[in-house]
């Protein structure tokens, strides 16, 4: 499963081609590696038994990189994918050499997942693999570009020169002990490959950047796809450039499993494994309890040159049962939410017996329920005496308590706890209570609940009350002025969705929304009669749509390469937040936001600066009025509000406005993955609107009836999936 397929008319082809080429190239290289190895019987003996040693173990790839997944899958490894939440923000100036930075980042990625999984996944993995690829040129470290200009900066610094690609790899072995503690053993190494770029003309550079390929790749290029055309020669392991040094990895596994470096005992001698590569790095870290900081026998990443033996690290961490939920503390300040043992709405996926690689988690998973993946299945097994397992009890309790967690979040958000602690971190409960005008007792309970949910951190001080500060999740999503603030949506959930859900049983029995019971208003049209008929409800609803559009806008806008479209119309585009993301992504695009007069009259409140004159607003009813002319029609979170009959009315108006080559872009949560998020979202549509969420094929079917074909879908890891159809 991919985190993000970049597809586009041109770039979709290139992406499809990219993916094909990746497979082809990788299998070609893999074959070459294998053929080479087969000539050398000893090497073959080394490779295969190593991979087979891992059969039956829960192997986890702590990476969202589709290239790493493919390289390892092609090598025959069976594993699950749990992308790391570790932010790649280590201070580069602290590292003496670029590879030290890559190795440290790889290590942190792997350890973050290894530590999180016993809490989030019910299962402790056997092995976690982390990796980090960087490009080093002229004393600079280049990671993934943040935008096209950054890609330009990177690629022009590589033009005509030779540079090094380093991939740091960390292998963490997890040993569950009888007392419910987990030992972590770390083996890490790096690989360097030299790559020489041809001279790149400005035209070439921009053509390449506009293909969209550079954006998720270190140094801004993908050697396995279009970027291969920029390369004159490669010295070293090709797959290392693509993202994973397979050969070195296999050698490392061989050292671990066949030459005695592996040990489940705490007393493993660090020098017991011999090592034959120039880059293997021994590091010895020991961590004896969840609260103890990691101690390093040497400073970060400085070991590669000094100690030629394979490295081993032990970390020990108590499992949830050994440590009460609210006492589980952050170990090292690096993982943003890993300290929370709350797993209710995390998209957990039980690893199956035939452990297929599958993405089971993503960055925004935790409380915000954004990740995809198969729904969690309760793994209930009866033990001797019929006693239920503690993880089953934990999971069922979390499900029963889900509404309490939601309401704690809504309440803290409404009482401005997160805004307060952002401007004044380190307040104790009494001080917070005074500021939010609440009781000390109640505030203490609320703050502690937020700590247990991973939204706040608390610091205990000797003989004094604990003090509180925001955890990363709160700073990112829960402040009223954060770029990705979900405050507006949270307030909508509290004030609108919550009362509607209290009538869920009726919604299920009747198959219709519950506005009348929840709010005492009969509504023929939910939007006209309920959301937009009073100013405060309208503003709250617009705020909710605004915050979701800001969080999802970029992912939707860039899911496909839409640069060939010059005009777009965002139907039901509300405050224009999505439209602004589209114009930011496409300098040649103008977007008309088309929405009800009641909405358009308020939209300017959301963009006081109105800096982008490529976004304009037109008032009208898309079921009745003529639609503004455009090459591309955007329907983001619109169709799910309506039953098929009404969707057909709308799509036939869109189809009438389109000439061949025009497109419809639908952004919705598709039901295909059967994730808790999409399934619960569908229940939400039932209680709230006349509509429902749909599957990819249902959208394709609806569109095909109005003359749209060549449909493609991109599953972003954000809330929405993007679906495009071209007018034939």
Ligand X SMILES: Cc1cn([C@@H]2O[C@H](COP(=O)(O)OP(=O)(O)OP(=O)(O)O)[C@@H](O)[C@H]2O)c(=O)[nH]c1=O
C-alpha span between 38 and 725 (Å, rounded): 47
CA 396 – CA 376 distance, rounded (Å):
11
β-strands 567-571, 632-636 pairing: parallel
Site for ligand X in 524-583 (CB under 6 A): none
Does 275 bind ligand X (CB under 6 A)? Our answer is no
The contacts found for 391-400 with CB under 8 angstroms, 24 or more apart, are 391/122, 394/122, 394/320, 394/343, 395/122, 395/343, 398/342, 398/343, 398/344, 399/344
Query: In this structure, how many other beta carbons lie within 10 angstroms of the beta carbon of residue 148?
Result: 17
CA atoms within 13 A on the CB side of 297: 14
Q: How far is the CB of 234 from ligand X (least distance, A)?
A: 10
- Strand 632-636 and strand 663-668: the pairing is parallel
Q: How many residues bind ligand X (CB under 6 A)?
A: 26
* Nearest-approach distance from CB 61 to ligand X, in angstroms: 8
Task: Select 212 or 243, whichever has its Cβ closest to ligand X.
Answer: 243
Distant-in-sequence, close-in-space partners of 574: CB < 8 Å, separation ≥ 6:
542, 545, 546, 549, 593, 595, 599, 603
Other beta carbons within 10 angstroms of residue 426's beta carbon come to 11
Q: Which residues pair with 54 in a beta bridge?
A: none
H-helix or E-strand containing 260? none
Between 3 and 727, name the residue whose CB sits nearer to ligand X.
Answer: 3
> By the 8 A CB rule, do 169 and 190 touch?
yes
- The rounded distance, in Å, linking the Cα atoms of 479 and 477 is 6
* List 182, 241, 273, 720, residue binding ligand X (CB under 6 A): 241
Who's near 147: CB < 8 A, 6+ residues apart? Answer: none
Give the C-alpha separation, 170 to 108, whole Å. Answer: 8
- Exposed, middle or buried: residue 360 (CB in 10 Å: 0-12, 13-18, 19+)? buried
CB of 191 or CB of 693, closer to ligand X: 191
Distance in Å, CB of 723 to ligand X, minimum: 24
- Rounded Cα–Cα distance for residues 724 and 703 (Å): 9
Q: What's the closest the beta carbon of residue 163 comes to ligand X, in angstroms? A: 10
Residues 64-103, mask of contacts with ligand X (x by CB under 6 A) = xx-x---------------xx---x---------------
Q: Are strands 280-281 and 285-287 parallel, antiparallel or unpaired?
A: unpaired
User: What separation, in Å, do the N-terminal and C-terminal C-alpha atoms of the chain show?
Assistant: 30
**Least distance (Å) from ligand X to the CB of residue 471?**
21
238 vs 580 by CB, closer to ligand X: 238
Which is nearest to 346 in space by CA: 367, 372, 377, 374? Answer: 367
Residue 264 DSSP label: S
Q: Of 218 and 545, which has the nearer Cβ to ligand X?
A: 218
Shortest Cβ distance from residue 90 to ligand X (Å)?
Answer: 12
Q: Which stretch binds ligand X (CB under 6 A): 23-31, 46-54, 59-67, 339-347?
A: 59-67
Kindly state the smallest distance separating residue 96's Cβ from ligand X, in Å: 20
Rule CB under 6 A: choose which of 8, 37, 124, 133 binds ligand X: 133
Minimum CB distance to ligand X smaller for 219 or for 673: 219
- The distance of closest approach from Cβ of residue 15 to ligand X in the complex, given in angstroms and rounded to an integer, is 12
Identified binder of ligand X from the candidate list 14, 33, 37, 63, rule CB under 6 A: 63
We find the least distance from the C-beta atom of residue 347 to ligand X, in angstroms, to be 16
Of residues 366 and 408, the one with the C-beta less far from ligand X: 366
Q: Which stretch binds ligand X (CB under 6 A): 31-39, 58-66, 477-485, 566-574?
A: 58-66
Q: How far apart are CA 676 and CA 371, in angstroms?
A: 9
Cα separations in angstroms, 419 against 425, 430, 466, 478, 552? 10, 17, 19, 8, 22
Rounded to a whole number of angstroms, the minimum distance from the CB of residue 244 to ligand X is 7
**144 binds ligand X, rule: CB under 6 A:** yes
* Nearer residue to ligand X within complex by CB, 133 or 323: 133
Provide the minimum distance between the beta carbon of 201 and ligand X in the complex, in angstroms, as a whole number. Answer: 20
590 binds ligand X (CB under 6 A): no
Nearer to ligand X, 193 or 268 (CB): 193
The interface mask with ligand X, positions 363-402, x = CB under 6 A, is ----------------------------------------
* CB-nearer residue toward ligand X: 116 or 614: 116
Give me the phi and psi of 710, to 5 degrees please: 45, 40
Taking the complex as a whole, the smallest distance from the CB of residue 230 to ligand X amounts, in Å, to 10
Helix (H, G, I), strand (E, B) or coil at 667: strand
- For residue 457, list its beta bridge partners: 469
Structure tokens at 488: 């507006």
Residue 243 near ligand X by CB under 6 A: yes
Which of 212/572 has CB closer to ligand X?
212
CB of residue 569 to ligand X, shortest distance in Å = 34
Residue 330 binding ligand X, by CB under 6 A? no
Site map 159..198 versus ligand X, x via CB under 6 A: ------x---------------------------------
Contacting range for ligand X; rule: CB under 6 A; set: 61-69, 400-408, 547-555, 683-691: 61-69
Catalytic center residues: 132
CA separation for the pair 197, 229 (Å, rounded)? 9
Query: What crossing angle do the helices spanning 11-39 and 41-53 adopt, rounded to 10°?
Result: 120
Name residues whose C-beta falls within 8 Å of residue 645's C-beta, 6 or more positions apart in sequence. none
Complex with ligand X: residue 155 or 571, whichever CB lies closer: 155
What crossing angle do the helices spanning 11-39 and 66-74 adopt, rounded to 10°? 30
User: Where in 101-120 is the site for ligand X (CB under 6 A)?
Assistant: 109
Distance between CA 582 and CA 589 in Å, rounded?
8
Residue 186: which of 302, 88, 260, 106 has the closest Cα?
106
Q: How far apart are CA 489 and CA 469, in angstroms?
A: 23
Given the rule CB under 6 A, which of 132-140, 405-413, 579-587, 713-721 is the region that contacts ligand X? 132-140
Interface pattern 208-237 for ligand X (x via CB under 6 A) = --------xxxx-xxxx--x----------
Report the C-alpha gap between 87 and 84 in whole angstroms. 8
Contact status, residue 465 vs residue 429, Cβ threshold 8 Å? yes
Query: With respect to ligand X, which residue has the nearer C-beta, 107 or 653?
Result: 107
Q: What phi, psi does 98 have (nearest 5°)? A: -60, -40
Report helix, strand or coil for 60: strand
Residue of 294, 295, 302 lying closest to 115 (CA atoms): 294
**In a 3-state reduction of DSSP, which class is residue 86?**
coil
- Rounded to whole angstroms, how far apart are CA atoms 218 and 133? 6
Q: Name the residue whose CB lies closest to ligand X.
A: 243
Q: Which residues bind ligand X (CB under 6 A)?
A: 63-65, 67, 83-84, 88, 109, 131-133, 135, 144, 165, 216-219, 221-224, 227, 241-243
């Amino acid at each position: 499963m991919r985190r993000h397929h970049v597809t586009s008319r041109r770039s979709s082809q290139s992406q499809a081609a990219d993916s094909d080429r990746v497979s082809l190239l990788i299998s070609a290289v893999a074959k070459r590696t294998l053929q080479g190895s087969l000539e050398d019987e000893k090497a073959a003996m080394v490779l295969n038994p190593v991979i087979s040693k891992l059969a039956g173990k829960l192997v986890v790839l702590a990476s969202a990189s589709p290239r790493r997944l493919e390289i390892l899958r092609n090598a025959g490894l069976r594993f699950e994918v749990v992308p790391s939440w570790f932010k790649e923000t280590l201070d580069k100036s602290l590292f003496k050499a670029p590879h030290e930075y890559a190795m440290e980042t790889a290590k942190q990625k792997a350890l973050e997942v290894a530590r999180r999984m016993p809490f989030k996944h019910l299962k402790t993995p056997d092995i976690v693999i982390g990796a980090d690829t960087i490009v080093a040129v002229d004393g600079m470290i280049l990671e993934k570009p943040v935008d096209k200009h950054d890609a330009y900066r990177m690629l022009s610094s590589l033009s005509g020169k030779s540079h090094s690609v380093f991939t740091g790899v960390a292998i963490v072995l997890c040993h569950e002990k009888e007392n419910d503690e987990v030992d972590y053993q770390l083996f890490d190494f790096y690989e360097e490959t030299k790559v020489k770029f041809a001279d790149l003309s400005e035209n070439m550079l921009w053509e390449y950047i506009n293909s969209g390929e550079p954006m998720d790749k270190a140094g801004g290029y993908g050697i396995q796809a279009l970027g291969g055309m920029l390369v004159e020669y490669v010295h070293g392991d090709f797959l290392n450039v693509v993202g994973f040094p397979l050969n070195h990895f296999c050698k490392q596994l061989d050292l671990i499993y066949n030459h005695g470096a592996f040990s489940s005992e705490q007393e493993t001698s660090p020098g017991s494994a011999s090592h034959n590569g120039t880059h293997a790095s021994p590091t010895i870290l020991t961590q004896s309890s969840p609260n103890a900081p990691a101690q390093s026998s040497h400073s970060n990443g400085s070991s590669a040159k000094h100690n030629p033996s394979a490295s081993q690290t032990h970390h020990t961490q108590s499992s949830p049962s050994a440590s009460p939920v609210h006492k589980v503390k952050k170990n090292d300040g690096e993982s943003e939410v890993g300290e929370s043992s709350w797993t209710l709405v995390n998209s957990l996926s039980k690893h199956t017996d035939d452990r297929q690689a599958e993405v089971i988690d993503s960055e925004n998973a935790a409380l915000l329920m954004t990740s995809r993946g198969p729904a969690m299945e309760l793994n209930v097994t009866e033990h001797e005496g019929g006693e239920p397992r503690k993880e089953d009890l934990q999971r069922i309790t979390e499900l029963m308590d889900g509404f309490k967690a939601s309401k704690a979040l809504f309440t803290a958000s409404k009482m401005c706890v997160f805004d307060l602690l952002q401007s004044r971190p380190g307040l104790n409960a009494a001080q917070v209570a005074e500021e939010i005008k609440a009781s000390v007792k109640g505030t203490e309970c609320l703050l502690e609940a937020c700590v247990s949910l991973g939204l706040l951190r608390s610091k205990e001080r000797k003989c004094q009350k604990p003090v509180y500060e925001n955890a990363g999740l709160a700073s990112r999503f829960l402040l009223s002025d954060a770029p990705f603030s979900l405050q507006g949506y949270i307030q909508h959930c509290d004030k609108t969705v919550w009362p509607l859900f209290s009538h869920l049983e009726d919604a299920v029995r009747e198959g219709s929304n519950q506005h009348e019971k929840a709010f005492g208003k009969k509504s023929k049209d939910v939007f006209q009669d309920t959301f937009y008929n009073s100013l405060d409800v309208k503003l709250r609803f617009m705020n909710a749509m605004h915050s979701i559009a800001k969080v999802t806008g970029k992912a939707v806008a860039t899911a496909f390469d839409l640069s060939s479209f010059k005009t777009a119309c965002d139907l039901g585009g509300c405050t224009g937040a999505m439209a602004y993301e589209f114009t930011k992504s496409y300098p040649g695009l103008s977007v008309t936001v088309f929405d009800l007069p009641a909405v358009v009259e308020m939209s300017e409140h959301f963009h006081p600066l109105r800096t982008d004159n490529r976004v304009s607003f037109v008032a009208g009813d898309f079921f009745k009025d003529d639609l503004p002319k455009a090459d591309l029609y955007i329907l983001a979170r619109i169709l799910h509000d309506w039953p098929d009959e009404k969707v057909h009315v709308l799509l036939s108006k869109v189809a009438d406005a389109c000439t061949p080559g025009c497109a419809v872009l639908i952004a919705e949560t598709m039901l295909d993955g059967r994730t808790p998020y999409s399934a619960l979202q569908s229940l939400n549509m039932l209680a709230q609107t006349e509509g429902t969420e749909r599957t990819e094929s249902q959208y394709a079917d609806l569109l095909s009836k109005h003359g749209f074909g060549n449909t493609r879908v991109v599953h972003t890891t954000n809330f929405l999936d993007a679906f495009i159809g071209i007018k034939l």
